[in-house]
Amino acid sequence: MPKLRIAVALIAFCLCSLTRAAEVLTVAQIEKVTGVTGLSSKPAKYDKAALNYLTSKNELAVSIKVASASVYEVWKSQPSMNDQVALASLGDDAISSKTGRYVCFKKGGAGVCVTGMVAVGESQPLVNDAKLLELARLAASTL
């Protein structure tokens, strides 16, 4: 069973890598929700399904990953995501981290993961959990 799970994860990763992340939220929408200004968007270097939103200091504030619903199922099943909790009333199915940092959901044929990052040398994320959830809800409304 573990070999099958690894194979499915690798296939999902490869499929994600074949497409560029769709911009489900604009920079202006993210700035409005988070209160962080001067953001710019940039495709993630190694994960072609993700779009990163950087501060004017080039710090990663938020990353939004858009993939298929089947990839969402892979994210949800990963042992590294063992701090997750089910999240009601977001898309068809949703999870969030108990310790913060991400909200992932499935809606129709899409899987979306909104991740907040901690600034270098800081202990608090640039975008708090409530704002990540608000961004996820806004992203779900655009699908």
Question: Residues near 5 by Cβ (< 8 Å), separated by ≥ 6?
Answer: 77
The pLDDT value given to residue 97: 86
The pLDDT value given to residue 140: 95
The pLDDT value given to residue 38: 95
- pTM here is 0.79
Question: Residues near 35 by Cβ (< 8 Å), separated by ≥ 6?
Answer: 131
Region of 135 please: left (phi>0), alpha (psi -120 to 50) or beta. Answer: alpha
The pLDDT value given to residue 90: 94
Each residue's pLDDT tens digit, 8-67: 444 444 444 333 456 889 999 999 999 999 999 999 888 888 899 999 988 889 999 999
Each residue's pLDDT tens digit, 86-108: 888 899 999 998 877 899 999 99
**What is the chain's Cα-based Rg?**
15
The pLDDT value given to residue 44: 87
Please give the helix or strand (H or E) that residue 46 lies within, else none: none
Domain at 2-142: CATH code: 3.40.1000
Question: Residues near 57 by Cβ (< 8 Å), separated by ≥ 6?
Answer: none
Question: For residue 134, is pLDDT > 60?
Answer: yes
- Give which of 47, 45, 48 is closest to 20, Cα–Cα: 48
- Give residue limits of the domains in the chain: 2-142
